Structure 1
Amino acid sequence: MKLLTIAIILLGLSAVVACATRTTANAVPEIFGTLPGGAAIFRYELRNDNGITVGIINLGATIVSLETPDRDGNFADIVLGFDNPQQYLTDSPYFGTVVGRYGNRIANGEFSLDGQVYTLAKNDGENHLHGGEIGFDKMLWQVLQHSNSDITLQLISPDGDEGYPGELTTTVTYSLDNTNRLTVDYHATTTRPTVVNLTQHSYFNLAGHDAGPTLAHTLLINADRFTEIDKELIPTGELPTVSGTPLDFREPTVIGLRIDEPHQQLVYGGGYDHNWVLTDAAASGEEPAAIVIDPVSGRTLTVTTQEPGIQFYSGNFLAGAFSAKHGAIYPYRSAVVLETQHFPDSPNQSGFPSTRLEPGQDYRTQTVFEFGVEPYDGGNDAIE
């Protein structure tokens, strides 16, 4: 309750600047709801000439809806989420949010920089997850500008926020174009040496957000290795090959085909909840990092990034425990999450790509989600 009260206070303070935006014609936001304490949450919509729409709220810079057509031209919302903004504070497993300052886990809730140890919240067992108790997902972002095709949001995280050093100024821009590409551009600067690892945490179900398990979706991940984890989902530091394991998605593979194999990594993750080490071509954006296909609707999702890793999470902790948007109940493994990122626990792993950011440096990275359809091929590889 104390943490929720703090969040509400922070949200109330942020509300003063949340409306200081530059808008263009036909891009007027609507009220998504209010939080205890009176803070208003605004919903903004991006749209393109093909009918695709993306709903974004200033709480957590969160994608709350994303409507795309299937092979017959029928539109459906393909991201999980809530109608009630309060649930993004109390119930959400990071549906659609921008997570930070550090996406994924940091072992034992601590790291050191230049000989100084920084202590973070242990909000995932004995470890730190997705920025802590009140991470970027639970804060009101200031909307700097928005139009029908793009929106830029900013968050200033003070020095010491959730234990992290340095005042961090972060901007995220979402842009939707007429080739059905949703581009996410991240930029951050700091006043002191710190660590940063931002990611977009949408839960996708290409059959429709309320369509049930996604085990029949096929997935390709352009990676030869993965970061091995222990039973607490913390990297061991080893980067084994995917070859000969159920983590090999170098060819399109039905997600449910091997998810319950008694492989130790799958036992630890409760299914897929791992970071893949992208190939050089995928980490540079020259090739896709991942491709997802729903064989029934024909919807496809292609992810391109500039990050060295991608976390594939198969919704293993979804259990129909809450009512979501439009009264939907999200059952076990009913989503595909693809978090483009630096590796988990990088601040404590000298062999991993660094997440350190210095004053005077610019943190910049980009991820693109491209939506499409493929024709029906007459097959059905569904996994029940």
Structure 2
Amino acid sequence: MKLRSFVLCNAAGDEVCISNFGARLLQWHTDVDGIERNIILGYSSLSDYQQDPFYLGAMVGPFANRIGSAEFFIDDQLITLDANEGVNHLHGGRNAISDMFWEVTEQSEQMLVLTCQLDDGFNGYPGPIAFKVVYRLNDDSALIIDIYADSEQPTVIGPTSHPYFNLAGVGNDHQHHILQVFAESYTETCSKGIPTGEIIPVEATSLDFRQPRILSSEASRDNVDHNFTVVGSATEPQAKLISPDKKLQLHVMSDYPGLQVYTGHHLDGKFTSKEGLCLEPQFYPNSPNIDTFPFYLTTPEEPFSAQIKYQLVKPKLNTPPLKADNIEEE
């Protein structure tokens, strides 16, 4: 299949570019005070995405994030997955949906529908599994991503979108973004990023983003790669990211119970550390192995669905300006 890209446009002047390879978000151009910004980090050539180690803009899964020891049980049957990060399983394993060509089944000016199929046993997942992703760009500068999956057997599904955002505009200084996460706690992990099962309050920790906080590229405390326990809502933000000049906000909403915040501190090669920041709605990592984590199996009788919404807000035009005394900087 040929590597292609497709553009969604709205009346607000937004243009979102999406590829059929990995159902990836490649670019999002928006107008800020008459100046165009591309707010999604990406490569200059489509072919570079086929050697991308960072999951730039990709739809990742079948299960996003990590599964410890690359295994879990379904009805007392041990399911062994592809171990692609040491002994653990990350983002669906090797050559998963992030690195597959998706079929475009419907397209309009403001909508794109992509589908892909996984055979039974792909990277260990029971199936077969059929995925469908619907991208919709509305006239209020919201990108809505509806994710659906059907499986012929009980299986583990929980994909997410993996764009790296720079609200200053790709190529511009990415330092001093302002982050707010509406979470009282986060999932503790071991040194390999696998949750221990403990849920830790953010209060009095470096992961307390309940009030907006300026991120520093130099501060080690702002090297974040953690899952926050948020309230799933299609209407209320789970997180807000604000551009350094405070002229643009990104609000993230989803019906997922978790949100991975990754500050991109492992980016290298064609990019610099922290050049983009990820806000990934998800099930908690390793949820299939931890009974106390919110999670459900996808079955033939109960197919999977989830929604992610990325809403742009331009405070100068739409909302009161952010008050400086609400911003915490250390």
Pick the TM interval, shorter chain: over 0.9
1:116-155 paired onto structure 2 within 5 Å: 116-155=77-116
Instruction: Quote the residue 1:290 is aligned against.
Output: 239
- Contact persistence 1:197–1:355 (CA under 8 A): no
1:75 corresponds to 2:36: yes
Q: Structure 1 258/90 Cα, relative in aligned 2: closer, same or farther at 3 Å?
A: closer
Instruction: Quote the residue 2:68 is aligned against.
Output: 107
- Contact persistence 2:213–2:328 (CA under 8 A): no
SS at match of 2:216: helix
Q: 2-side partners of 1:85 and 1:61: how far apart?
A: 13
SS at match of 1:315: coil
1:307 corresponds to 2:256: yes
More helix by share: 1
1:44 corresponds to 2:14: no
Q: 2-side partners of 1:91 and 1:307: how far apart?
A: 26
Q: 2-side partners of 1:200 and 1:378: how far apart?
A: 31
Listed as ranges, the gaps of 5+ residues in structure 1 are 1-14, 16-39, 323-329
Q: 2-side partners of 1:111 and 1:85: how far apart?
A: 36
Q: Structure 1 313/377 Cα, relative in aligned 2: closer, same or farther at 3 Å?
A: closer
Instruction: Quote the residue 1:201 is aligned against.
Output: 162
Q: 2-side partners of 1:348 and 1:250: how far apart?
A: 29
- CA shift, 1:257, in A, is 8.8
Listed as ranges, the gaps of 5+ residues in structure 2 are none
Q: 2-side partners of 1:87 and 1:284: how far apart?
A: 35
Q: Show CA shifts across 1:101-120 (max 9, x none).
A: 01000111111211221222
Instruction: Quote the residue 1:54 is aligned against.
Output: 16
- State the TM-score, normalizing by the size of structure 2: 0.93
Root-mean-square deviation (CA, aligned residues, Å) is 2.1
- Contact persistence 1:56–1:64 (CA under 8 A): yes
SS at match of 1:194: coil
1:157 corresponds to 2:157: no
1:267-346 paired onto structure 2 within 5 Å: 271-279=223-231, 283-296=232-245, 298-319=247-268, 321-322=269-270, 330-346=271-287
- CA shift, 1:123, in A, is 1.4
Q: 2-side partners of 1:91 and 1:174: how far apart?
A: 22
Q: Show CA shifts across 1:224-258 (max 9, x none).
A: 01001111011010001011111111111112299
Q: 2-side partners of 1:351 and 1:286: how far apart?
A: 26
Which residue identity is paired with 2:5? R
Q: 2-side partners of 1:63 and 1:304: how far apart?
A: 17
- CA shift, 1:124, in A, is 1.5
Which residue identity is paired with 2:12? N
Alignment size in residue pairs: 325
Q: 2-side partners of 1:84 and 1:92: how far apart?
A: 15
Q: 1-side partners of 2:217 and 2:135: how far apart?
A: 34
- Contact persistence 1:52–1:69 (CA under 8 A): yes
